[in-house]
Structure 1
Amino acid sequence: MAFEVITLTDAAADRVNAIVGNSGPDAKGIRVSIKKGGCAGMEYSVDLVREPDPKDDKVSRNGASVWIDPSAVLYLLGTEMDYEVTTLRSGFTFRNPNQRSACGCGESVELKAADLAELARQREGAGA
């Protein structure tokens, strides 16, 4: 099994499929990237994909396609993408082991690049 940059929960895959289904016949999936902004320094960005970029990594689950911007890969390695609905908000959430902190409102985060040597040791230990 190939290593995936991020994993999707069933809820995230279901939401991606709903977005694509409501966005017309040329919608293919979504793209996750990281942009500078917010009080903590970085923000997750989720955009509709109509024309996939061949440089992006692609993750699929239950028919849902998510592309990852190459410049975000080191910040997203090991991340689980979920979709949550609460009383006050709904949206994609990211459980990211590379996140050091978040601002009080939760809109921006501080991320560090993944430790590739540590990831390799973990894969070896898991027999991957």
Structure 2
Amino acid sequence: MDLTLTPNAVRMVRGFLKEHGETDEAGLRVAVLPGGCSGFQYGVDIDDAPEGDDEILMLDGIRVFVDPFSAQYLEGIEIDYMTSLMGSGFTFKNPQATGGCGCGSSFTV
């Protein structure tokens, strides 16, 4: 699976893992969830360990967990972490997305 974390995203995930009480099994879970006005939305969380059927990626020393449903929608995605006057958070550049909603929180393929 081709998934990329930018240097900003790597720095933030490492910080979140440290706050979470980093263990050898912990990692970043990236998921696609049904919802939003365009059909799908992204989810990111720190997880203690992978689930049995997760794909496990190692990116810049960070374990990334992706479930089988989400994997089909995350191929080729770039995850960044942005800070602006409007707030901060993870952003997603998905080459598979064919559209999105006006607020930018969901997408369609």
- Higher mean C-alpha displacement, 90-99 vs 50-59: 50-59
Please tell me whether the aligned partners of residues 80 and 94 of structure 1 are also in contact (alpha carbons under 8 angstroms).
yes
Residue 107 (structure 2) aligned to one of 84, 92, 109? 109
Aligned residues: 108
Please tell me whether the aligned partners of residues 30 and 67 of structure 1 are also in contact (alpha carbons under 8 angstroms).
yes
What is the CA distance between 1:25 and its match in structure 2?
Answer: 4.2
Matched residue SS, 1:19: helix
Q: Deviations over 1:36-74 (max 9, x none)?
A: 111111100112210212421222233222111111111
- Map of 1:47-58 to 2, 5 A cutoff? 47-58=45-56
Matched residue SS, 2:20: coil
CA distance in 1, matches of 2:64, 2:96: 19
CA distance in 1, matches of 2:12, 2:62: 9
- Map of 1:80-119 to 2, 5 A cutoff? 80-111=78-109
> Which residue of 2 is the match for residue 60 of structure 1?
58
Q: Are positions 1:77 and 2:101 aligned together? A: no
What is the CA distance between 1:97 and its match in structure 2?
Answer: 0.4
CA distance in 1, matches of 2:43, 2:103: 16
Q: Deviations over 1:54-112 (max 9, x none)?
A: 4212222332221111111111111111111111121111111000111111111112x
- Higher mean C-alpha displacement, 87-96 vs 56-65: 56-65
Q: Which has the higher strand share?
A: 2
Matched residue SS, 1:44: strand
TM-score (norm 1): 0.77
Identical aligned pairs, as a percentage? 37
CA distance in 2, matches of 1:98, 1:20: 29
Task: Give the superposed CA RMSD.
Answer: 1.5
